[in-house]
Amino acid sequence: MATSGQGLSNAEIADALKRARD
């Protein structure tokens, strides 16, 4: 999973949750 320097962006978190639920 790619992160942008400061950490996970809101979009990245939402996508990760979406994948986990799928």
CA distance 21 to 18: 5
Q: What is the per-residue pLDDT for 2?
A: 61
Considering the entire predicted model, what is its pTM?
A: 0.40
Q: What is the per-residue pLDDT for 9?
A: 81
φ/ψ region of 5 (left if φ > 0, alpha if ψ in -120 to 50, else beta) reads left
Q: What is the per-residue pLDDT for 15?
A: 92
φ/ψ region of 18 (left if φ > 0, alpha if ψ in -120 to 50, else beta) reads alpha
Span 1-22, pLDDT tens digits: 565 556 668 888 899 999 999 7
